Chain A
Amino acid sequence: MNSPQTAAFVSGYEVRAKSGANGEFGGELLEIAMGPHHPSTHGVFRMDVVLDGERVVKLKPVFGYLHRNHEKIAEDATYLASIPYTDRLDYFCSLTNNWAYCLAVEKLAGLQVPERAEYIRVITAELTRLQNHACLGGFLLQDMGASGTPLMYAFREREKILDLFESLTGARMMCNYMRFGGCRCDLPDGWLEQTRQVLAGFPRFLDEFERLLNENEILMSRTQGVGVLSSDLAVNAGVTGPMLRASGVNYDLRKVDKYGIYDRFSFRIPLGDHGDVYDRYMMRILEMRESFNILSQALRDIPEGPIVDPKAKIRGFRPKAGEAYGRIEAPKGELGFYLISDGSPNPYRYRVRAPSFINLTILEDMCLGHHVADVVIILGSFDIVLGEVDR
């Protein structure tokens, strides 16, 4: 499927230009490098694209420009010192990253999270999902040429949520809030009230955002039927998150694993029919509505009580030897941390299963045969963050 000579694409397009005997393109195919400084490739991501006219016949993703040695640094640092580094994986969703890592360590050390802390985790994680999906919508529309307006509306909402994060955790993006066996500090006075106020305005934003572009004829012709991901391919490639559900596969770790206290909330999992860019975009909008439901339930039910397991130690934390895998449904897909402990203060092995990275592996299959302009929006609908892809 990759070779230009034998390409038979899902879109029914056939390659006209032939490559030379020695594999050269003979001047008929054009190889271009999109990125790492291309405005539409999110972050420092490069694609080597081979074009036949305007059509993509080969695409090679190149990443690693933002490699920061996260996994190896974590093997030299104490368990606690890795939490601020996990913030910097997917820097849009630092709180869900914290949660996945803490979940793995809690499994390793056998810590119990108090009920109030579980509720705080759900609330912060769903707020994270709201602001991540709002921004993804904005960025995707920006990639399609709706320059500025939807993105600014999304950022206006995100700002309110970031203010909530700042008054709770002290930082807007690098929250560093969750701890093994609970959370770092209790909710400040009036935080829940403030959150309710912000959430009360959120459905209006969603309605506006949907009215703004969802029925736009240009948007529909750009996105419908573009970048179709079949459910078989999605499952085989290990794609997770909204991308997988947009292809019609009902798999959400909040329902499958029921980690934390997600079994207490009633919410639905939206599913797509076609698996195209439009479905992936709508998936995010629908998920925001479901997250809003979860948040309303969590804010209603949150109990008083301790916020951290008294057995958890800040200094001199040494879980017993063993291994653990903690995974959660992060806004971008299944985020997992695999840890091996040898009983020392730092992990023996530390591995991150980053959803954006694994989702990116099928980029070529989805782009082949499409116009080069469609590559940009197909990539935009993936929702990647390079901090997480390269680690």
Chain B
Amino acid sequence: MLGKGIIQGMVETARNFAGSYVSGDRLVTVQYPEERLAQIEAARNFPFLVYDGEDWQQGLRCVACQICEKECPPKCIYIIKDVTKKPDHTGKLQFQPKVFDIDISVCMSCQICVEVCPFDAIKMDVEYELSTADRFGQLLLRKSDLARPNAYYHRIHPTEATAVDAHLATERAKAAAKSKPDSKPAA
């Protein structure tokens, strides 16, 4: 019968329309600013720098090795290494970045910097409401804007942060075990 296909399609539309009142999987829209979906744990947006301890400047894990700056595909990271070593939160002397800028208007959230970082110092944030009226200044994040405590990292990516902490602890234990036999002959 001519027109059967058209009626069949209309029935399908009607079923979806009526179904949206009773079934959750037909009504999928979320009224965004008032209503928000839960954050997916693996989500990534722009990078941030992790610090341990209380003071953000002292505790930065970043040692300004500049690998991320070299590997970054769109070259949005800018680092100047400090000339002198400074004590970190455990009191050990370390190089630190004097300047660490990320231009998030250029960053494409690819996570390459996180993967190449040997010190687990840079991680991906989940913050997404970042629009500003200022094209330049507000989108260039300085070291002070990027530094976030390890507790924040634990809050946004719990599974990953626990794994990173365990990995860092074994690395530290290995380093401690290595330095002991060396120190014995000296003593």
Measuring CB to CB, which residues of chain A are less than 8 angstroms from any residue of chain B? 77-78, 80-85, 87, 149, 153, 156, 159, 163, 166-171, 174, 176, 184-185, 188, 201, 208, 211-220, 314-315
Knowing A159-B28, A163-B40, A170-B44, say if A214 contacts B112 (CB, 8 Å): no
Q: Indicate which residue in A153, A171, A216 contacts B16 across the interface (CB closer than 8 Å).
A: A153
Judge whether A85 and B44 touch: CB under 8 Å.
no
Interface residues on B, range: 20 to 34
Judge whether B73 and A85 touch: CB under 8 Å.
yes
Nearest 7 CB-CB pairings of A with B: A215-B5, A84-B110, A170-B44, A81-B73, A216-B5, A212-B12, A170-B42
Q: Looking at the assembled complex, report how far the CB atom of A266 sits from the nearest CB atom of chain B, in whole angstroms.
A: 30
Q: Indicate which residue in A82, A87, A217 contacts B3 across the interface (CB closer than 8 Å).
A: A217
Q: Indicate which residue in A170, A211, A218 contacts B12 across the interface (CB closer than 8 Å).
A: A211
Knowing A81-B112, A174-B110, A211-B12, say if A167 contacts B42 (CB, 8 Å): yes
Judge whether A171 and B9 touch: CB under 8 Å.
no
Measuring CB to CB, which residues of chain B are less than 8 angstroms from any residue of chain A? 2-6, 8-9, 11-13, 15-16, 25, 28, 40-44, 67, 71-73, 108-112, 115-116, 118, 124, 159
User: Using Cβ atoms and an 8 Å threshold, which residues of chain A touch B67?
Assistant: 315
Q: Looking at the assembled complex, report how far the CB atom of B77 sits from the nearest CB atom of chain A, in whole angstroms.
A: 12
Q: Indicate which residue in A156, A166, A211 contacts B28 across the interface (CB closer than 8 Å).
A: A156
Question: How far does the alpha carbon of A201 sit from the alpha carbon of B19 in the complex, in Å?
Answer: 15
User: Using Cβ atoms and an 8 Å threshold, which residues of chain A touch B25?
Assistant: 201
Q: Looking at the assembled complex, report how far the CB atom of B123 sits from the nearest CB atom of chain A, in whole angstroms.
A: 11
Q: Looking at the assembled complex, report how far the CB atom of A157 sits from the nearest CB atom of chain B, in whole angstroms.
A: 10
Q: Looking at the assembled complex, report how far the CB atom of B162 sits from the nearest CB atom of chain A, in whole angstroms.
A: 13
Knowing A85-B73, A156-B28, A176-B110, say if A216 contacts B9 (CB, 8 Å): yes
Q: Indicate which residue in A83, A168, A184, A217 contacts B2 across the interface (CB closer than 8 Å).
A: A217
A selection of 12 A-B contacts at a CB cut-off of 8 Å is A80-B112, A81-B73, A81-B112, A83-B110, A84-B110, A85-B73, A163-B40, A167-B42, A215-B5, A216-B6, A220-B5, A315-B71
User: Using Cβ atoms and an 8 Å threshold, which residues of chain A touch B111?
Assistant: 170, 176
Q: Looking at the assembled complex, report how far the CB atom of A85 sits from the nearest CB atom of chain B, in whole angstroms.
A: 6
